[in-house]
Amino acid sequence: MFDNWNDLEKSILNCQKCKLCKTRKNIVFGTGNKSADIMFIGEGPGADEDMQGEPFVGRAGKLMNMAFMALGIQRQDVYIANVVKCRPPFNRNPEHDEEEACLDYLRNQVILVKPKIIVLLGSVALKNILGKEYGITTSRGKWVEKKGIYYMPTWHPAALLRDETKKIQFINDLILVTQKISEI
């Protein structure tokens, strides 16, 4: 584990821990306020993110930004990362060995950010952070507190693009986040 951002970011520059390194254009490390109270964790970069080297800049990211704007959340005030730092081919879910290869990077990001709240975007983030026994359908919208951090599982913004009925639940979950941050 690294105790500063420079060393952590340098440690991932030439990562070859899994097969995703063979097809990536860029490592998508994370973005935002490195001492944010709220951290968002998704599953992995898509094509746009791989091209630009930044998480949530594609269609799902634009949708997330609209939700942020509606709720008064400033993107630059939160920290955004993914479970895996390289794009899985064809936007498939990361495989177990790929998730395992990146989890120490993510854990180190959480340690350095020290968020009060972590929003888990989708099933991959939920299962990797809280455990395989959690399911997104039954867990979303419900607070989980572990080791002084509050976790809010919710839909991944890409799921909202496939099923618009989930948008209201996503917004409601983010409302809970904005309410909770003012309480703690």
Q: What is the pLDDT of residue 129?
A: 98
Roughly how many angstroms between the first and final C-alpha of the chain, as a whole number?
28
Strand order in the sheet with 117-121: 31-32, 79-82, 38-42, 117-121, 149-154, 144-146
Domain of residue 12: give its range. Answer: 5-183
Q: What is the pLDDT of residue 67?
A: 97
What percent of the chain clears pLDDT 70, i.e. is strictly above it?
A: 100
Give the span between the Cα atoms of 142 and 16, in whole angstroms. 36
What percent of the chain clears pLDDT 90, i.e. is strictly above it?
A: 99
Residue pair 31/79 in contact (Cβ under 8 Å)? The answer is yes
Residue pair 178/72 in contact (Cβ under 8 Å)? The answer is yes
Q: How many domains does the chain have?
A: 1
Residue pair 58/47 in contact (Cβ under 8 Å)? The answer is yes
Q: What is the pLDDT of residue 55?
A: 98
Give the span between the Cα atoms of 94 and 7, in whole angstroms. 25
Collapse the DSSP code of 150 into the 3-class scheme (helix H, G, I; strand E, B; otherwise coil) and give the result: strand
Give the residue-averaged pLDDT of 136-157. 98
- For the chain, helix (H) and strand (E) counts, in that order, are 8, 6
Residue pair 157/60 in contact (Cβ under 8 Å)? The answer is yes
Domain CATH number, residue 16 = 3.40.470.10
Residues 35-64: b if buried by 16+ CB within 10 A, e if exposed: ebbbbbbbbbbbebbbeebbbbbbebbebb
Q: What is the pLDDT of residue 27?
A: 97
Tens-place pLDDT, residues 22-56: 999 999 999 999 999 999 999 999 999 999 999 99
Residues 135-158: b if buried by 16+ CB within 10 A, e if exposed: ebeebbeeebeeeeebbbbbbbbb
Tens-place pLDDT, residues 75-124: 999 999 999 999 999 989 999 999 999 999 999 999 999 999 999 999 99
